[in-house]
Amino acid sequence: MKTLHLIVAAGLLGMGFSAWANPQLADEKQCMQCHSVTKDGAGPAFQKIAIRWKGDPSAEKTLVATIRKGSVDGGGRHWGIAKMPDDSERPLVSEDEAKQLVKWILSL
């Protein structure tokens, strides 16, 4: 029983760290220069992105492509006239990093 409690506690701590780490990754990759969690800026709020893509089976694939390649080559949905820059204008985002960011955004 003690072992089970330790496994559950470790899992909860791991989930908490993952949720904490993704805003840091978004900041590190300069996402927060145009987005915020709750308020629109040059880009839509991450919560609005989560609502728009909720239940869409293509969400992860499309959002990962948009994060990695920008609006023009990523093919994602976009708001207003602002475009998501490609990697020539911001730090490179790996496939794994983009997946982490998408999972965090869609969890909001």
59: CATH: 1.10.760.10
Q: Quick one: pLDDT band at residue 91, thresholds 50, 70, 90?
A: very high
pTM of the model: 0.79
Burial of 105 (0-12, 13-18, 19+ CB in 10 A): buried
Long-range own/partner contacts, residues 32-37 (CB < 8 A, 24 or more apart): 34/82, 34/84, 37/108
How far apart (Å, rounded) are the C-alpha atoms in residues 106 and 57?
12
| pLDDT of 81 | 80
- Total domains, the chain: 1
Q: What residue numbers bound the domain in which 36 lies?
A: 2-106
Residue with tokens 């029983």: 1
Instruction: For residue range 46-75, list pLDDT tens digits in order.
Output: 999 999 999 999 999 999 999 999 988 887
Could you tell me the CA-to-CA distances from 88 to 5, 17, 68, 79, 98 in Å, in that order? 48, 30, 11, 21, 16
For the chain, percent of residues with pLDDT exceeding 90:
64
